[in-house]
């Protein structure tokens, strides 16, 4: 049995990381004896002809995809292409978006055969084994599938997979090297589950309210593996790393006891941290903590059931600073009950936190399928203006709120992006005068490199133009890069000197290599798999 897993396109400005959920699915399938391949179109260009070549060579029985709301349409493009390439392929999708729109999604998309609900690691193995053994699917819980003209729902599988028994994610199947070349972080989890009931989130419904923890020894074993990949930072993607003091303490102690030297970040609630907690996290390599603040209005915080106060926020970020950690804060604008007054409170609170050293940002409310704010939109007196899932990126207003116009929210979001661009422009101007701080210079240079690397990857430009003729192969590397940069400059916005800098940096980091193509000729290549 062969299963082809696909990660659909996701924009680089959303700072993606290697697809952890898909890697877990691949791992449990491999453990069950299935041959698995992953195609990651976040860091590779997509086209029907590219997919056709992969399907024709790999010959999968099943093509499986994951998607969030924003990526659903691009995921469905892959599904449709797969079905036209080989109508016999069984197409399966998982993820939060389709979990909470399963029947509607199948009814609207005839090319999709089945949807796996919620946590998928056990259901996907049951499904693939049933397909291989030509068995019926109706006894597999956690599945919605097409049976002729009928759509069959086998019933929900209660969340609660023992995450400590799962194999390590199959990252050997992922193009980890491309994410490293893009200067992105890599994610892992130490637990799964969320006990909180925020009305704008599906986390609790997707993976369960009961938090299940991994053995700290296994956690640090995995961190050690990720450190060997050469990433500058690991993101602990637990909903709440700080929720359980015993678990958090044990993980930090294990890191320190083993002498593991790696930087990592985590998410936390402001009511779950103390100076002692944060200092121990710092000692174990933590560099930053991200808090979901959502609003500066006490009324809004109560409406969305956040369960925190402004005073707790201020205290938490001050403690982060005392512990030597960078606090991050995120806000959601346009929540139910938002008015010009509550919006002003949030904007002012953000500025107050910034003066305390907080890096903060805004998103606009996106009422994702499965969220209470969507299911009870009338009760919350909001009107959802579109079901075009491509607009559910939380950067534009897609909700009308009685207390504030959508265009006001859009203007704030646009202004925030302009502020970011102006900050970068200011740093660039200071760089020209020789007045920029070293960390500011690194920020601008690394951003330019990331954008250029992404353009080179998604345009397949290294693959097209990276080969040099035999007479060039014997020249010094600087001359080879200059020749290549002169060609690439016709296809990207960067001047040749920036291209040479970026390629030189990638070669030094080990993100690229010169590969001999025969004789004295050489070809520059990305190192995709680590």
Gap between the Cα atoms of 514 and 501, Å rounded = 16
Instruction: Return the beta strands (E) in 45-139 as ranges.
Output: 62-66, 90-94, 114-116
Q: Which residue bears the tokens 């002003």?
A: 344
Q: What is the DSSP letter of 46?
A: -
pLDDT value at position 439?
A: 81
Domain boundary pick from 386, 404, 422: 404
Gap between the Cα atoms of 508 and 500, Å rounded = 12
Q: Is 327 in contact with 321 (CB distance < 8 Å)?
A: yes
The pLDDT tens digits of the residues spanning 493-524 come to: 999 999 999 999 999 999 999 987 666 678 89
Gap between the Cα atoms of 434 and 26, Å rounded = 49
Count other C-beta atoms under 10 Å from residue 449's C-beta: 20
Q: What is the pTM of this model?
A: 0.95
- Measured in residues, the chain has a length of 530
Least confident of 120-124, 166-170, 522-526: 522-526
pLDDT value at position 341?
A: 96
| 313 plus 263 within the same structural domain | yes
Q: Is 233 in contact with 185 (CB distance < 8 Å)?
A: yes
Closest CA to 294 of 282, 284, 305, 283: 305
| 190 plus 149 within the same structural domain | no
**173 inside domain:** no
| 190 plus 141 within the same structural domain | no
φ and ψ at residue 290, rounded to 5 degrees: -105, 130
| Confidence band for 421, pLDDT divided at 50, 70 and 90 | confident
| 374 plus 271 within the same structural domain | yes
| 344 plus 475 within the same structural domain | no
**418 inside domain:** no
| 241 plus 316 within the same structural domain | yes
**174 inside domain:** no
Average per-residue pLDDT in the chain?
94
Gap between the Cα atoms of 1 and 35, Å rounded = 6
Domain total for the chain?
3
Identify the domain containing residue 451 by its residue range. Answer: 439-526
Domain boundary pick from 153, 171, 202: 153
| 119 plus 197 within the same structural domain | no
Instruction: Return the beta strands (E) in 353-398 as ranges.
Output: 359-364, 382-384
Kindly report the CATH number assigned to the domain that includes residue 51.
Answer: 3.40.50.280
Domain boundary pick from 356, 387, 404: 404
CA angle 330, 203, 274 (to 5 degrees): 55
| 245 plus 356 within the same structural domain | yes
| 98 plus 194 within the same structural domain | no
**249 inside domain:** yes
Q: Is 188 in contact with 18 (CB distance < 8 Å)?
A: no
**170 inside domain:** no
- Percent residues over pLDDT 70 in the chain: 98
The pLDDT tens digits of the residues spanning 172-208 come to: 999 999 999 999 999 999 999 999 999 999 999 999 9
User: Residue 245 is inside which H or E element, if any?
Assistant: helix 245-258
**172 inside domain:** no
- Percent residues over pLDDT 90 in the chain: 86
Is residue 277 predicted with pLDDT exceeding 70? yes
pLDDT value at position 519?
A: 64
What's the chain's Rg over C-alpha atoms?
Answer: 24
| 352 plus 482 within the same structural domain | no
| 514 plus 378 within the same structural domain | no
**57 inside domain:** yes
**164 inside domain:** no
| 300 plus 362 within the same structural domain | yes
């Amino acid at each position: 049995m062969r299963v082809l897993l696909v990660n659909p396109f996701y924009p680089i400005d959303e700072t993606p990381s290697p697809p952890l959920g898909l890697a877990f699915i691949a791992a449990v399938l491999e453990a069950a004896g299935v041959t698995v391949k992953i195609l990651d179109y976040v860091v590779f260009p997509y086209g029907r002809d590219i997919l056709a070549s992969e399907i024709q060579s790999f010959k999968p029985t099943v093509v499986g995809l994951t998607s969030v709301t924003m990526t659903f349409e691009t995921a469905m493009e892959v599904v449709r292409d797969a079905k036209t390439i080989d109508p016999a392929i069984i197409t399966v999708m998982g993820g939060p978006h389709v979990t909470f729109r399963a029947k509607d999604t199948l009814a609207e998309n005839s090319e999709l055969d089945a949807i796996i609900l919620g946590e998928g690691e056990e259901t996907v193995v049951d499904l693939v084994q049933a397909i291989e053994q030509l068995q019926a699917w109706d006894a597999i819980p956690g599945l919605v599938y097409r049976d002729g003209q009928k759509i069959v729902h086998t019933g929900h599988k209660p969340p609660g997979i023992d995450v400590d028994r799962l194999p390590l994610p199959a990252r050997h199947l992922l193009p980890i090297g491309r994410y490293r070349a893009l200067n992105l972080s890599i994610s892992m989890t130490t637990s799964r589950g969320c006990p909180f009931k925020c009305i704008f989130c599906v986390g609790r419904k997707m993976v369960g309210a009961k938090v299940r923890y991994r053995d700290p020894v296994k956690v640090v074993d995995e961190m050690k593996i990720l450190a060997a990949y050469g990433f500058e930072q690991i993101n602990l993607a637990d909903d709440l790393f700080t929720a359980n003091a015993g678990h958090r303490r044990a993980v930090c102690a294990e890191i320190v006891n083993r002498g593991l030297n790696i930087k990592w970040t985590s998410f936390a609630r402001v009511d779950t941290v103390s100076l002692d907690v944060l200092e121990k996290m710092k000692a174990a390599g933590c560099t930053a903590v991200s808090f979901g603040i959502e609003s500066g209005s006490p009324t809004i915080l109560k409406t969305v059931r956040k369960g925190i106060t402004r005073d707790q926020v201020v205290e938490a970020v001050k403690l982060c600073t005392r512990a030597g950690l960078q606090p991050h804060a995120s806000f959601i604008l346009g929540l139910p009950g938002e008015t010009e007054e509550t919006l002003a409170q949030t904007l002012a609170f953000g500025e107050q936190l910034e003066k305390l050293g907080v890096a903060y940002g805004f998103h606009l409310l996106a009422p994702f399928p499965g969220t209470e704010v969507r299911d009870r939109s009338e009760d919350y007196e909001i009107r959802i203006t579109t079901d075009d899932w491509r607009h559910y990126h939380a950067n534009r207003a897609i909700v009308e709120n009685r207390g504030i116009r959508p265009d006001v929210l859009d203007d704030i979001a646009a202004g925030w992006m302009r502020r970011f661009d102006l900050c970068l422009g200011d740093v660039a101007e200071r760089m020209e005068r020789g007045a920029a701080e070293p960390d500011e210079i690194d920020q601008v240079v690394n951003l330019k490199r990331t954008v250029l690397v992404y353009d080179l990857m998604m345009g397949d430009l290294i693959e097209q133009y990276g080969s040099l003729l035999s007479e060039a192969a014997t020249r010094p590397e600087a001359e080879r890069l200059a020749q290549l940069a002169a060609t690439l400059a016709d296809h990207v916005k960067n001047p040749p000197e920036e291209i040479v800098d970026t390629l030189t940096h990638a070669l030094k980091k080990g993100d690229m290599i010169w590969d001999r193509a025969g004789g004295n000729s050489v070809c520059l290549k990305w190192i995709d798999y680590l």
